[in-house]
Amino acid sequence: MGFFDLFKKKKDNAEPTSQPLQSEDKTLEQDASLGNQAQQEAQTTEQPQHAEEQTAAEEQLRSEELSASLEKTKSGFFSKLARAIAGRSTVDADVLDDLEEVLITSDVGVETTVKIINRIEERIARDKYMNTSELNSILRDEIASLMEESHSSTRDMGLEVKPGMPYVMMVVGVNGAGKTTTIGKLAAQLTKLGRKVYIGAADTFRAAAIDQLAVWADRAGATMIRQEMGSDPASVAYDTLKSAVANGADVVLIDTAGRLHNKIGLMNELTKIRNVMSKVIPDAPHEVMLVLDGSTGQNAFEQARQFTQATQVTSLTITKLDGTAKGGVVIGISDQFHIPVRYIGIGEGIDQLRMFDRHDFVKALFGEKK
């Protein structure tokens, strides 16, 4: 890619790409039929009971899978980086300019890019000299330190499930972001860990959306609470929590619709759902997880902005990191919104939801530390 392409790419990125809260029915077909891959894997995949029981070989496989799913992001980033430093031995102002382009065109976002460049400049000012061959490991360190740490424990997929009261997670995000799929994958992993999971079908806009969730709930061995299409989402959430409490559930996952026409509408709807839930369990929801489609790049930033303004978002899941070169969004979004990334989606398969670990992530991007 020559200078012109770089410029063109940057320009493309700078263009307002967002049409955040109204992606309407673009995933109608996708919603109705689950990915084939997901179906196959549901039949063939066995999950270990506890993270601790994983053998070193399984760990290795998992880390290879993560690395493979980030391949496009990785090759995009490193080929640009290689071009930026080709024939240069020291990190000077020109190299930093090019590095800035590389980061921005890798969807890291302008704010975070500027932060990374500033930090490298400070380091150069301190050490007087920086070899371009050191750039990789310095970038790796800076990027890791910018990302929020998301969890301390690997139990229960990182959720703080306590006995006696269900842990309630409300899942928000625009249509097509991957909410339903993420809930299905998460429910499956939690039931495998021996947790009793209830799912509330509070995306009541379309019958297909409820049916899609029902397929996932069934596959996951979770109980789904539903009402008719078009019914009040808050009422579904209420029923789900009531039923979950009565039946001693450990975790409740509430699916929501993301197709509200404007921020006020969204805010009202989400507030109503929250209020109704807290009537059943005073501190519910314990978590509001925003699901973002990583492959939308800058649009994911815009969605994060809209949703964090509309409601209190406490965690993020970034989906579809497989098959996109825009995985840099994970770095920028984690840094800019100061909300920990809890999970990443790396495929349509039932086990292709991973707890996010910033160290695993930079390791997958940059390789083992030398």
Ligand X SMILES: Nc1nc2c(ncn2[C@@H]2O[C@H](COP(=O)(O)OP(=O)(O)O)[C@@H](O)[C@H]2O)c(=O)[nH]1
CA-to-CA dists, residue 46 to 49, 355, 356, angstroms: 9, 17, 20
Binding residues among 198-257 for Mg ion as defined by CB under 5 A = 209
Q: Tell me how crowded residue 301 is: count the other CB atoms within 10 A of its CB.
A: 24
CA-to-CA dists, residue 51 to 154, 163, 187, 224, angstroms: 7, 20, 16, 26
Least separation, in Å, of the C-beta of 234 and Mg ion? 17
Q: Which two tokens stand for residue 352?
A: 């292709």
Give CA–CA dist 253/54, Å, rounded. 26
Q: Does 347 bind ligand X (CB under 6 A)?
A: yes
Least separation, in Å, of the C-beta of 6 and ligand X? 28
Comparison of 253 and 339: residue with beta carbon closer to Mg ion: 253
Q: Nearest 5 degrees, angle CA 36-CA 40-CA 45? A: 140
Binding piece for ligand X, criterion CB under 6 A, among 110-118, 237-245, 266-274, 346-354: 346-354
Least separation, in Å, of the C-beta of 320 and Mg ion? 14
Least separation, in Å, of the C-beta of 79 and ligand X? 23
Out of 13, 35, 229, 263, point to the residue binding ligand X (CB under 6 A).
Answer: 35
Least separation, in Å, of the C-beta of 33 and ligand X? 8
Binding piece for ligand X, criterion CB under 6 A, among 25-33, 58-66, 111-119, 139-147: 25-33
- Three-class HEC string of 81-149: HHHHHCCCCECCHHHHHHHHHHHHHCCCCHHHHHHHHHHHHHHHHHHCCCEHHHHHHHHHHHHHHHCCC
* Residue span 47-86 as binding mask against ligand X, x where in contact by CB under 6 A, dash where not: ----------------------------------------
Q: Which helix (H) or strand (E) holds 171?
A: strand 167-172
Which residue has tokens 């919104």?
337
Out of 69, 150, 180, 240, point to the residue binding Mg ion (CB under 5 A).
Answer: 180
Q: Does 27 bind ligand X (CB under 6 A)?
A: yes
DSSP track, 19-39? -TT--TTTTHHHHHS--HHHH
User: What is the number of the residue whose Cβ is closest to ligand X?
Assistant: 345
Least separation, in Å, of the C-beta of 248 and ligand X? 27
By CB under 6 A, the count of residues binding ligand X is: 22
Comparison of 180 and 296: residue with beta carbon closer to ligand X: 180
User: What is the number of the residue whose Cβ is closest to Mg ion?
Assistant: 180
Give CA–CA dist 350/45, Å, rounded. 8
Backbone phi, then psi, for 347, in 5-degree steps?
155, 170
* Residue span 127-166 as binding mask against Mg ion, x where in contact by CB under 5 A, dash where not: ----------------------------------------
Binding residues among 158-217 for ligand X as defined by CB under 6 A = 173, 175-181
Q: Does 303 bind ligand X (CB under 6 A)?
A: no
Q: Does 348 bind ligand X (CB under 6 A)?
A: yes
Comparison of 81 and 184: residue with beta carbon closer to ligand X: 184
Count Cα neighbours of 170 within 13 Å in the Cβ-side half-sphere: 32
Comparison of 106 and 324: residue with beta carbon closer to ligand X: 324
Comparison of 176 and 349: residue with beta carbon closer to Mg ion: 176
Q: Contact 247/222 with Cβ under 8 angstroms?
A: no
